[in-house]
Each structure stands twice: as structure tokens, then as C-alpha cells.
Amino acid sequence: MSESALFVRRPGLLTTVQDLGRPGLGRFGVSAGGALDQGALILGNRLVGNEPGEAGLEISLIGPELVLTGASPVTIALTGADLGATRNALPLPRWESVSIAVGDVIAFAPDGGEGRGARAYLCVAGGFAIPPVMGSRATDLFGGFGGWQGRPLRAGDEVPLRGATGPLPQRRLRTPPPDYPSELIIHVVLGPQHDRFTGEARATLLSATYTVTPTSDRMGIRLSGPPLALTHGADMLSEGIALGAIQVPGDGAPIVLLRARQTIGGYPKIATVIGADLDALAQARPGDCLRFETVTVDQARALSLAHQSRFGEDAIVTNTESAVSDAGAAVMAESWDPDGVRRLVEALATAGVTEFRFEIAGLTLELRRGEGEDALAPSSGARSGAEAEPDDVILAPVLGTFYRRPAPDASPYFEPGAAVEGGQTIGLIEVMKTFTEVTAPRAGILAAFLVEDGVFVEYGQPLARLAAADDAL
């Protein structure tokens, strides 16, 4: 078969097929489910010319590694959070359509990108060749049905695509995409059981800051913060649970219920998040902070209408000239003329690339973003192999806390000025009790550390400068 498919090399943390869900089965115990950030899915579909409710991949925090198989290129669009997506190791732009070739590898940084937003959506022109179950291609993880075999993607899966759509014009958003702040104000309407809480609890809900905990999932966002006291205990007759309901079990720690929640439950609900804020809420990641503000039902409705209007057909524009954003295509198309290089530099700078090396027909183009400069600037354009290796900067492979020593009371791995072999550990980065080794990419002299021991570093942040061994004093 030559039909196209996405082959899963690595599944990521939780990658599922989702569309807009299957509302209408609540009375049978089936929640609507579907993409948690529906706006991001709708825009992704519009960018690739699909119906807005077509199924895409919902990618959570740590993304997969996917390879396009088959015989023909396809158009994709990545929307939602920046989880560090690449195509063939180059940054994959979000919020615009991109044509990918057979064999192209779509991967995600293991640290999950810039750390804002929790979920990305990958839409493919034509959608996935997956039969709908009870009217939807959404994966119901609790019920184990729908989507791809009723479960998250696994390594070795080959998810078939529905088919070639032919060449598509390049599309992008008309207005800037949503950003995903890590401090959110979420609007609510009190009720339906706010009168089962103390007045102090209602005041606390509307004044305190709550933190998203790592136990949050597609069913709900579990919050830590001041507990909310009930006046009549936490047990009540089970009833339907609204999307966005803020439910409070006996321990007083609120849970905001999302699309994959159970349909009914017996805990009191102090308030309900308005429709307009559900997409933003779905992008809250562990550690993000929420504050709640009340609005009236009429205000909520007006906000929802404004929110939904951002996902209409007119949210998309079609580029009339070829985009510069695809770095590889730009190089091929523009050859080495100065204007082509300038446009490539702009594209790379826009994509946040700090280093770029490209070899073709015996020529090498090597670009590096200079320290203290905003834009990428060409640093050399010489014949391949003619130049000595420049200094290397050792970058943080993940975000977290950087340590120069294996244990708090141990000596540092290396002092500045020491000679290191390629692959030797020069430090550790801790994130959530997991340690990642920082290794020297090659032999050299550890010229200087660029960050203090024990500080928090971002992914890709320069940690140390490595001088070539023959530059040694």
C-alpha cells in the first residue's frame, strides 16, 4: 500500500486523536470529550483546508516523534502550545500550513518547548483514515473507544491518513495567535451549589491564587491553594457535571472539570467556568497560577461569542507569494543570492533558531545568532572544511536547575580551564526529581561556565563555553 500514514517512533507523554467530541450521549454516561483546546484544533483544521471538526492529534506537554510514510507529501498545521516542534531537526512553525515530504520527521523537544501552554494540535489535510465511533473520532480514554484503537498513540503505530488533497495554498492566521500565559484569570459564574460553601470559601475562591498540580489530566485540573470549606459536608445526590464545573471534594481542594470528565458525580460545585475561558484553561500546565473572577451569565455569553468569532473562516489568510518560513525550501528556492540569504536569516530568527548549518554542492552556510544581538547574522560562508572549529557553547538539554556537582557535598565535575573529553559529564539538570546529564559535545577546554551553580536554566540556555583544545593557553 502506498497510502500515507504517520508512523509513531516515540509516542510522547499523551498523544491522542481528538475531534470536537461526541456531545449528545450524556444520558448514557458518555462525556462529550474531544479536543480540550477546541479553538486550537479548529484553527489547525482551517489552516489545512479541513472542516473545522476534523480529527487531529492532541499532544500533551511532551510530544511524539512522527515520520510521514507513503508516497506523497501532505500539508499539516501545528497549533496550540509551543512544545518545541521540529521538522527534520529544524523548528516547525506553528499556526501556518506546512507541506511535509515522505520521510520527514516531526519531533518535539523532550523538555516540551518554551514552557507556556500544555497542548499542541497537529492537523493533517484530509484528516485521518479512522472510522468514527458513535459519531466522532475522539479518543475516549476511560471508555477505551474512539480515535486510534481507543487509546493513546504508542511507538510502532502507523496512523493512516485519509488521502491526498492536492497542493494547497500556504495559509496563516490573520491575527496573532493566542499566547499561553502562566498566570491566568479565569471567569466563572457562581453555582450551582455555592450556597453549600461558607461565605469565606466563596471569598477565598475569588481572591486566592491557585496552582495547577501535576495530577491534572483530561478529566480535570486539580488545584492546590487555600481549601474551600463546605457548610453541609461533601456528599450530595449525584447529578450532571457541567463542563468547567469547579467541584470541591471533602478535602476542600478544587478540581476544574474538563471535557473528559465523568458525566455525573456527587460533589458540590462552587462555580462554573464560562465557555470563553475553557480553551485557555485547557492550556494550563502544572505550576501555572489561576485566579477566578465572577461575571454574569450575560457577560459570559458575550465573551463566548467573541471567543468563538476568533475561529471562523475569516481567521485564516492565504499567502499569495511563497512563504519564507520554510527554511529548507527557502534555501533551495533562493540559492545563495544575497536576498535569499537575507530572507533565510529572517526566517530563522523568527523561528528562534540560534545556530544553523547547511551544506550543499560543496558550499557551507553557517549562521549563528551573536551574543547580545537580536538578529541572526551570517558568521561565515566558506568552503566546507576550510575553517577551524570555533568555540562551542554547551546548551542546556532540558529546562531545570543546573548543578555543577554530582551531589550537594561533592566537588564540581570540572573547574573552569579543565580539559574535557567528548561525552564527559560537566553538570546535571534537575527537573521534578529527574536528573539529566549535561555532557561536552567534543573534547576541548572548559573555558568558562556561563551560569551559576544551582540556578534555574531554560532549555537551550548556554551553560558553558568550550574552547578548542589547540586554542589552549
Partner 1 sequence: MIPAPAGNAEFTIHPLADTGLLLQLGEQTSTALTRRIAALTAALDAAALPGLIDLVPSYTTLMLTLDPALADPAAIAATARHFWAEAAATQPAPGRQVTIPVIYGGERGPDLGDVAAHTGLSSEEVIARHAGAPYTVVCLGFAPGFAFLTGLPPELETPRLAKPRTHVPAGSVGIGGVQTGIYPLTTPGGWRLIGYTPSILFDPDRAEPFLLQPGDEVRFEPSAAPAE
By the criterion CB under 8 A, which residues form the site for partner 1? 23-30, 32, 133-134, 140, 142-146, 188-189, 191-192, 237-245, 262-265, 272-276, 297, 300-301, 303-305, 308
Residue linked to cell 566558506: 382
**Closer of 133 and 315 to partner 1 (Cβ):** 133
Dihedral angle over CA of 131, 135, 138, 142, nearest 10: -110
- Least separation in angstroms between CB 239 and partner 1: 4
- Least distance (Å) between residue 193 CB and partner 1: 8
Query: Which of residues 153 and 188 has its CB atom nearest to partner 1 in the complex?
Result: 188
Name the minimum Å distance from CB 303 to partner 1. Answer: 8
CB of 40 to partner 1, least distance (A): 18
Q: What type of residue sits at position 19?
A: D
> What are the φ/ψ torsions at residue 456 (nearest 5 degrees)?
-80, 130
**Rounded distance, CA 297 to CA 303, Å?**
10
Distance of alpha carbon 463 from alpha carbon 184, whole angstroms? 31
- How far apart (Å, rounded) are the C-alpha atoms in residues 316 and 342? 27
Find the shortest distance in angstroms from Cβ 298 to partner 1.
8
The verdict on whether omega for the bond into residue 91 sits within 30 degrees of 0, i.e. cis, is no
- Find the shortest distance in angstroms from Cβ 161 to partner 1: 23
Nearer CB in complex with partner 1: 192/412: 192
Q: Which is nearer to partner 1, 28 or 409 (CB)?
A: 28
Report which of 164, 134, 165 is spatially closest to residue 150, judged by C-alpha positions.
134
Number of H helices, E strands in the chain: 6, 33
Give the start-end residues of each E strand in 125-212: 158-160, 171-173, 183-190, 210-212
Q: How far apart are CA 441 and CA 286, in angstroms?
A: 32
Kindly tell me which of 32 and 48 has the beta carbon lying closer to partner 1: 32
Q: Which is nearer to partner 1, 91 or 146 (CB)?
A: 146
C-alpha distances in Å from residue 212, one per residue of 224, 225, 243, 290: 7, 9, 17, 8
Task: Report residue 450 as a C-alpha cell.
Answer: 556561563
Least CB distance from residue 214 to partner 1, whole Å?
21
Q: Which residues pair with 142 in a beta bridge?
A: none
- The nearest distance, CB 134 to partner 1, in angstroms, is 6
Nearest distance from C-beta of residue 430 to partner 1, angstroms: 32
Cα 263 to chain centroid, rounded: 28
Spatial distance between the Cα atoms of 298 and 327, rounded to a whole number of angstroms? 47
Question: Cα separation of 133 and 17, whole Å?
Answer: 12
**Residue 335 to residues 146, 147, 177, 359, Cα–Cα distance (Å):** 47, 43, 31, 12
Q: How far apart are CA 226 and CA 206, in angstroms?
A: 11
Asked if 21 and 72 count as a contact pair (C-beta separation under 8 A), the reply is no
Nearer to partner 1, 134 or 451 (CB): 134
Give the residue carrying C-alpha cell 484569570. 185
**Cell 549562521 found at:** 367
* Alpha carbon distance, N-terminus to C-terminus of the chain: 61
| Residue 133 or 164 with smaller CB distance to partner 1 | 133
CB of 168 to partner 1, least distance (A): 28
Residue nearer to partner 1 on the CB measure, 150 or 462: 150
Rounded to the nearest whole angstrom, what is the least distance from the CB of residue 122 to partner 1 in the complex?
A: 25
Question: Which lies closer to partner 1 via its Cβ, residue 276 or residue 426?
Answer: 276
Between 303 and 353, name the residue whose CB sits nearer to partner 1.
Answer: 303
Place of cell 496552582: 211
